[in-house]
Chains A and B, each alone.
Chain A
């Protein structure tokens, strides 16, 4: 009736760490690992493996399913059995991965192996052997599982382990607010907001936008002493739709006044997520795509030719890290292209994708790519659309502004920082 456990695999499909699986036969985790590895090996595309694999079980009466996600180099498995919502498993996996990031910064097979004792403590503290999440709030977890810091490492090597433990809170769960720990002290009280927006759009063959939506999230890094109570006001809150909030946000207050009133957790957390909908009726409530792509793709026998023009529609800002990708279809063997200055192209033989990389696109500039590709297939079937990803630093589609941040409950003036960043993921059909 719940999550059966958690397994972390390296990119070769071997288990790095796994939870107990006490109430299951010893072969149970292996069964899931093998099923996933087999599915991955037999699939043409790793993405095509269903994230929820049905596993019939050793004896047919106990079927189960393997929910798995890939993040970075690692694969996280979550076997479930009985009638449990797979989203429960995925939500738990996501939470656990976020906790790992919180603890180790960069998560790789190597970091996990170096800190295996912490990983095991985390596994035990976040997941009960009955399969129910225990403590998943990073603030509460930090009280009971000490994050590995250089200081701790040095101290433990130097043999002063007593000092290392005393730095941990000797009274865990003492905080009246589940998501915030007590006794936080900072010399510089500061809070930073990162507003990251992603433009998700599909552009038709004729250049009209079929759909575009802007998804934003407010990542917060809070370094405030004591128990601050914050009141955050946005300048254009009415354009934010489909919001979701961190548990610390008082929902009634948002429903009533469209302001965020909350006692923040200590450290990094995701304050809110939203979908930005412009109010102006003229642009069909859509944000326009900041570039124009003029593709001309000709598919011949055993190959084809591609001609692309990429022009920026932005007049003041620079687009960065632009990647234009095209899957060239099964059997593609190679490509050769000529690109305009300061851009580069590559062909990935593993994913059969042609990638055109534009490091920096200066305002209203145009770039071209001309080339051809070869394929063993008689009639190659390249993907019907280009995928364009880009980044616009220091910019927000929504022009979201924090109007005011009021702090009550403590007597200091915090430093407030806000930063915008825009990403884009566009499908451009040809």
Chain B
């Protein structure tokens, strides 16, 4: 028997195989299956294109499908195929779902370009709004709202209204997304649209609620008062909304909270620490948003971080750091965005970030932007404890192949030296070793940093001398200058050369060699290395860049003022000034002219005796001492190269403007807190009328606080363990049943069944969860058979109610 069956089976199989082969060979003639069916469509010869119209009019579904695929292929190659619009529209009522979907894809692309043709078929779309397939209904609405003819605005409003009451949440979502499009097309429909938004706000399905936030933002961003009734429910459904909706909804709720809720006020806690009094509604938002830190979607995590950064009390601020650090390893692009955002808030969070600074270490393989931001962050977390290891890191980065990182990290070393006084010696040692480096970029940056450090040290030294006594130092500032002066030949970067020349000139007089008992070799009153630098630079003056030339002229003038009697210096001066006078750069010429007139009182004829161009212009001639003051005093103290402070970031945390660093076309600044929040009773909706213990516990906490406002609704205080709505049924399965029964009774008896359900839905997942967990625990503890049966029943009920919500209500 079995053998017979098997025989029959094999026979049938082989017969089927043969038939298939037959049909295959028949059809592959024009389809070239061997190369993959898809690419065959992509190489469209012209005659095939002409054939499309005929195929679309044919009776065979296969022909039509092929024609549609060809059209889509043409679209993907960027060709305009709107000429086929009329033929395609005819197929919109096709019975084949496959064809229909492709037709709608075509229509979605071209309805906006060919509004007149689309208008002709508007009846078809309207009819499709009642199609049994939600996909088709949504597609029809998307095409309708895509037709950019203001005339049909009212038809679209009707369509949106119809779809907004659809049973499928998917269609309702399409309806909400159509609202902004219509509004942009014709803003005169605003009142009707706001009405639709209001109904949609009551939507129980978490699927569409996120897009309602989008529509709200587009149509009536300032009508935040419409949200009063829904605020608490929105907070509670947050966790069930899809990830994209969560982002939109969170951003809307942040704005709402800023405008409508009172700011957290510092209040002294019991044990001396500063506690913050947080409004119960704000607390609800924070506690509902916090679990979303664990989302897999980075955009959601950043949106939650925004909530805490802009709304939370400062004590909650550290919570945003670990989730953001977690995102760093996901992908290089996300790392780049997150790092820039961290930089933005680093001043507020430097202490928290300092604890996990090792997570921010720069890798040699990081992209450039990432390196830059990481160094900025590491710099922001420097403190007295971690500076030795950070200094080691920065020294390591100075060997990097990326010049920008080298510059940033050497500057960071300078920053350590300035901000942590104990570190100065180590930093100077490191910087002095950098000067020996073979690589230009390291030397240049080290010189620039050393210059500012020397300036600071000289100032400090003067203060110290005034106070009496100098601390022992490995590198006195003058020694640094003398070392730099000796290295002048090796410095190639113009900026660093100019820098050294300036240092030499500025501090040439400060040398006190006589103290050590060493005989002075050079001219009196100036350090021995100063004239030598001038000599070298005079020799190479013609090859220098303008920046260096300016500094050389200044150096010459300074030395002359310090030592007007020395013949060598006078001669060098004469040489330098003569060259500068005829320099190609007008700045250099101007500087030379200015300084020569200034020096008239010191050395009357700086351009040499045989110069006849010199004329007495009259006016006041300064004495040597006066010139000295002019040249040496009144230098600006070294500018701190601190990145611009981010005190007022205008809500830029988590925005595009923060990343690109430029204005991005919209001033979406977060509104500032109001003086006082709006009355919290505004947010009491009927949905909250049978108060869940959660709220009670919160309002209890509030009324206990020092600045409580009289709440018109008296909620019975109970000792709910957590302020989150999710723990409603924590006490166990029994309690859950009680609630559920009550809920069903309510649903039957009262008119407000919908609001009651909203309550249910808000914590739908958790309900299921806790009852589930209850059953799990009970099963584990092996209790009575009957009870667990009962629980299973309850579970089913629960699930049924949950599914009906997601389906939505047919009204």
Interface residues of chain A, those whose CB is within 8 Å of chain B, are 1-2, 15-18, 20, 22-23, 45, 47-48, 50-52, 54, 61-65, 67-69, 80-88, 90-92, 94-95, 110, 113-117, 119-121, 124, 128-130, 132-137, 144, 146, 153-154, 156-159, 161-162, 164-165, 168, 170-173, 176-178, 198, 200, 202, 204-205, 210-211, 213, 215, 229, 231, 241-247, 250-255, 257, 261, 270, 273, 275, 327, 329-330, 379, 381-385, 387, 406, 408, 427, 429
Which A residues touch B336, using CB under 8 A?
A: 50-52
Residue pair A120, B806 in contact (C-beta under 8 Å):
no
* A56: nearest chain-B partner, CB-CB: B662
Interface hit among B168-176, B480-488, B526-534:
B168-176
Q: Report if A132-B401 is in contact (Cβ < 8 Å); known contacts: A65-B656, A121-B101, A176-B802.
A: no
Which B residues touch A427, using CB under 8 A?
A: 363-365
The interface size of chain B toward A, counting residues with CB under 8 Å, comes to: 126
B663 is contacted by which of A52, A63, A95, A144 (Cβ under 8 Å)? A63
Which B residues touch A198, using CB under 8 A?
A: 329
- In angstroms, Cα B364 to Cα A213, docked, is 17
14 inter-chain pairs at a CB distance below 8 angstroms, sorted by A residue, are: A52-B660, A87-B298, A113-B38, A115-B38, A117-B73, A121-B102, A129-B146, A162-B61, A170-B97, A173-B169, A178-B242, A211-B359, A231-B776, A383-B401
Residue pair A330, B337 in contact (C-beta under 8 Å):
no
Given A85-B247, A247-B296, 19 additional A-B pairs, CB 8 A: A63-B663, A67-B333, A85-B656, A116-B76, A117-B72, A120-B75, A120-B76, A130-B177, A134-B177, A153-B33, A153-B37, A157-B31, A158-B23, A172-B133, A172-B134, A202-B363, A247-B242, A327-B364, A429-B364
Tell whether B517 is near chain A: CB-to-CB under 8 Å: no
- In angstroms, Cα B799 to Cα A210, docked, is 51
* A330: nearest chain-B partner, CB-CB: B401
Which A residues touch B318, using CB under 8 A?
A: none
Tell whether B348 is near chain A: CB-to-CB under 8 Å: no
Tell whether B456 is near chain A: CB-to-CB under 8 Å: no
Residue pair A114, B37 in contact (C-beta under 8 Å):
yes
Which of B37, B41, B184, B325 lies at the interface centre, i.e. has the most chain A CB atoms within 10 A of its CB? B37
Residue pair A63, B181 in contact (C-beta under 8 Å):
no
Interface mask (B148-186 → A, CB under 8 Å = 1, otherwise 0): 000000000000000000001110011001001100100
A176 is contacted by which of B97, B242, B396, B806 (Cβ under 8 Å)? B806
Residue pair B367, A48 in contact (C-beta under 8 Å):
yes
Minimum Cβ distance to chain A for residue B449 (Å): 20
Residue pair A161, B61 in contact (C-beta under 8 Å):
yes
Which of A81, A95, A120, A205 lies at the interface centre, i.e. has the most chain B CB atoms within 10 A of its CB? A120
Tell whether B218 is near chain A: CB-to-CB under 8 Å: yes
Which A residues touch B396, using CB under 8 A?
A: 204-205, 384, 429
Which B residues touch A92, using CB under 8 A?
A: 244, 299
Tell whether B322 is near chain A: CB-to-CB under 8 Å: yes
**Residues from 713 to 734 in B contacting A, C-beta threshold 8 Å:** 726-727
* B329: nearest chain-A partner, CB-CB: A215
Residue pair B170, A63 in contact (C-beta under 8 Å):
no
Which B residues touch A270, using CB under 8 A?
A: 296
- In angstroms, Cα B109 to Cα A18, docked, is 11
A114 is contacted by which of B38, B181, B184 (Cβ under 8 Å)? B38
Residue pair A91, B298 in contact (C-beta under 8 Å):
yes
Minimum Cβ distance to chain B for residue A232 (Å): 12
Which B residues touch A383, using CB under 8 A?
A: 364-365, 400-401
A85 is contacted by which of B62, B69, B299 (Cβ under 8 Å)? B299
* B101: nearest chain-A partner, CB-CB: A121
Minimum Cβ distance to chain A for residue B246 (Å): 9
Residue pair B218, A1 in contact (C-beta under 8 Å):
yes
Interface mask (B769-787 → A, CB under 8 Å = 1, otherwise 0): 1101101100000000000
Residue pair B142, A200 in contact (C-beta under 8 Å):
no
A382 is contacted by which of B76, B329, B401 (Cβ under 8 Å)? B401
Which B residues touch A154, using CB under 8 A?
A: 20, 24
- In angstroms, Cα B776 to Cα A406, docked, is 9
* A143: nearest chain-B partner, CB-CB: B135
Residue pair A134, B173 in contact (C-beta under 8 Å):
yes
Which of B297, B333, B806 lies at the interface centre, i.e. has the most chain A CB atoms within 10 A of its CB? B333
- In angstroms, Cα B336 to Cα A52, docked, is 9
Tell whether B739 is near chain A: CB-to-CB under 8 Å: no
Which B residues touch A330, using CB under 8 A?
A: 401
Residue pair A116, B42 in contact (C-beta under 8 Å):
yes
Which B residues touch A62, using CB under 8 A?
A: 665
B105 is contacted by which of A120, A146, A241 (Cβ under 8 Å)? A120
Residue pair A244, B170 in contact (C-beta under 8 Å):
no
* A155: nearest chain-B partner, CB-CB: B20
- In angstroms, Cα B329 to Cα A267, docked, is 25
* A173: nearest chain-B partner, CB-CB: B170
Which A residues touch B338, using CB under 8 A?
A: 87
Which A residues touch B173, using CB under 8 A?
A: 134
Residue pair A408, B772 in contact (C-beta under 8 Å):
yes
**Residues from 31 to 55 in B contacting A, C-beta threshold 8 Å:** 31, 33, 36-39, 41-42
Interface mask (B644-671 → A, CB under 8 Å = 1, otherwise 0): 0000000000111101111111101000
Minimum Cβ distance to chain B for residue A28 (Å): 13
* A153: nearest chain-B partner, CB-CB: B37
* A55: nearest chain-B partner, CB-CB: B660
Minimum Cβ distance to chain B for residue A128 (Å): 5
Which A residues touch B291, using CB under 8 A?
A: 251-252, 255
Which A residues touch B807, using CB under 8 A?
A: 176
Minimum Cβ distance to chain B for residue A351 (Å): 11
A130 is contacted by which of B24, B168, B180 (Cβ under 8 Å)? B180
Which A residues touch B105, using CB under 8 A?
A: 120-121, 124
- In angstroms, Cα B37 to Cα A82, docked, is 41
A173 is contacted by which of B61, B76, B168 (Cβ under 8 Å)? B168
Which B residues touch A275, using CB under 8 A?
A: 326
Residue pair A116, B439 in contact (C-beta under 8 Å):
no
Tell whether B710 is near chain A: CB-to-CB under 8 Å: no
Residue pair B96, A165 in contact (C-beta under 8 Å):
yes
Which B residues touch A115, using CB under 8 A?
A: 38
Q: Report if A252-B727 is in contact (Cβ < 8 Å); known contacts: A120-B76, A327-B364.
A: yes
| For the complex of A and B, 8 pairs with smallest distance between CB atoms | A176-B803, A114-B38, A211-B358, A83-B668, A51-B333, A385-B364, A54-B660, A91-B299
- In angstroms, Cα B283 to Cα A362, docked, is 56
Tell whether B614 is near chain A: CB-to-CB under 8 Å: no
- In angstroms, Cα B104 to Cα A144, docked, is 13
Residue pair A381, B401 in contact (C-beta under 8 Å):
yes
Interface mask (B337-373 → A, CB under 8 Å = 1, otherwise 0): 1100000000000000000001101011101110000
Tell whether B766 is near chain A: CB-to-CB under 8 Å: yes
Which A residues touch B24, using CB under 8 A?
A: 154, 157-158
Residue pair A329, B656 in contact (C-beta under 8 Å):
no
Q: Report if A117-B69 is in contact (Cβ < 8 Å); known contacts: A129-B108, A211-B361.
A: yes
Residue pair A252, B772 in contact (C-beta under 8 Å):
no
- In angstroms, Cα B367 to Cα A50, docked, is 8
Minimum Cβ distance to chain A for residue B46 (Å): 19
Minimum Cβ distance to chain A for residue B754 (Å): 18
Tell whether B9 is near chain A: CB-to-CB under 8 Å: no
* B97: nearest chain-A partner, CB-CB: A165
Q: Report if A64-B62 is in contact (Cβ < 8 Å); known contacts: A117-B69, A128-B177, A242-B326.
A: no
Residue pair A129, B142 in contact (C-beta under 8 Å):
yes
Tell whether B78 is near chain A: CB-to-CB under 8 Å: yes
B365 is contacted by which of A15, A87, A387 (Cβ under 8 Å)? A387
Tell whether B98 is near chain A: CB-to-CB under 8 Å: yes
Which B residues touch A215, using CB under 8 A?
A: 329
Residue pair B76, A408 in contact (C-beta under 8 Å):
no
* B653: nearest chain-A partner, CB-CB: A85
Which of A17, A68, A176, A246 lies at the interface centre, i.e. has the most chain B CB atoms within 10 A of its CB? A176
Which A residues touch B331, using CB under 8 A?
A: 69, 90, 94
Tell whether B65 is near chain A: CB-to-CB under 8 Å: yes
Tell whether B303 is near chain A: CB-to-CB under 8 Å: yes
Which B residues touch A134, using CB under 8 A?
A: 173-174, 177
Residue pair A80, B656 in contact (C-beta under 8 Å):
yes
Which A residues touch B214, using CB under 8 A?
A: 1-2, 130, 132
